Amino acid sequence: MSVDAQTVRRIAHLARIAVSEADVAPLQGELNAILAFVEQLGTVDVADVEPMTSVTPMAMKKRHDVVTDGGRAEEVVANAPETEDHFFLVPKVVE
């Protein structure tokens, strides 16, 4: 795939980047080099490579997914000017 000058201008417009006419040709070359590299990656044989879910082994301890109140309600609202039943009290803004 090759990028022409009109495509460079369109990409710049879509990205909301101001590109002068003098910068169009160098950007065209850079984008074509990037696309050539991506095409080169497509030729790599990955048939025997198992897909990864992470770059590090997932040997983490997993906790049970349970809903709790955190047990720290008093600490959470400790610095609030006004509270009621472990909730923040705020001024009414809608009438």
> Nearest 5°: CA angle at 76, between 71 and 82?
125
Residue 35 domain flag: yes
Residue 91 domain flag: no
Domain enclosing residue 34, as ranges: 5-40
Residue 14 domain flag: yes
* Residue 89: partners with Cβ closer than 8 Å, 6 or more residues away: 80, 82, 83
Number of domains forming the structure of the chain: 1
Residue 30 domain flag: yes
- What is the pLDDT at residue 53? 75
- What is the pLDDT at residue 58? 67
CATH number of domain containing 14: 1.10.20
Residue 64 domain flag: no
How many secondary structure helices (H) and strands (E) does the chain include?
3, 2
Residue 54 domain flag: no
Q: What is the pTM of this model?
A: 0.50
User: Which residues of the chain are under the pLDDT cut of 50?
Assistant: none
Q: Is 8 exposed, middle or buried (0-12, 13-18, 19+ CB in 10 A)?
A: buried
